[in-house]
Structure 1
């Protein structure tokens, strides 16, 4: 199991927006430069976050991206699913038998991980970091 680079950039972008200026718009160039990624690539990621209702965008010279009101409730799982979609994290037992003991272990592990990601909020991590614009 491995998340895409896009998910990694999305998590870091959301954290950066949370620790710097959650009320102010930040340009895509600044966000991309911060993570050393192309603006085109990051724009695609930000589009997914906008569609998921986590970020808002304003076009124009003073535009950019900022966290939507209520962002404090956004979890790691919310961000991961905005980028990856609500897919299973593991491939399951090859014989698809619901009584497969291996599949039961995988289901249990996935459920625990999803629960952990659901309870980890970006705001909690942001509180642990110092503002470093």
Structure 2
């Protein structure tokens, strides 16, 4: 199974915004350069994150994007859902009631969904910080 590149960029963008001190707004240009993307492409991703209520835009000369006030600790699933939507990854092509293949695949999707809902971006930030500290000791 594969998520789109947009999901990858969205997760990295969210991680960057969460690490921004004092909830400073970060401009599209800076966020795009950080990931070597065109600002136009990243703007489409930012629009989806904004519509999902994960981030908000800050107007003005020092404007840009920042975490939404109510989103201090989003899950991986929150970000993925904002970009990919909630369509099932697997749909049985032979539509008969009680298809065991479809049942198995849906169960796997639910397990993955629970795992991603339980993993917070703040967890990843902690892991990154621990990794940096460990590397400094070497």
Instruction: Specify if TM > 0.5.
Output: yes
**Larger Rg belongs to:** 2
- TM-score (ref. length: structure 1): 0.89
CA deviations 1:62-120 (Å, max 9, x no partner) are 10111112323311111111111111122x22212232221121011011001111111
- TM-score (ref. length: structure 2): 0.86
Structure 1 runs (4+) greater than 6 angstroms displaced: none
- Specify which structure has the bigger relative contact order, considering alpha-carbon pairs within 8 angstroms and separated by 6 or more residues: 1
Partners of 2:60 and 2:41 in 1: CA distance: 19
Deviates more, 1:72-81 or 1:111-120: 72-81
Aligned residues: 130
* Structure 1 residues without counterparts, runs of 5 or longer: none
Query: In the TM superposition, what is the alpha-carbon distance from 1:31 to its structure 2 partner?
Result: 0.5
The 3 A distance-change label for structure 1 pair 51 and 22 is farther
RMSD: 1.6
Partner residue of 2:78? 78
Would the aligned equivalents of 1:22 and 1:66 in 2 still touch at CA under 8 Å?
no
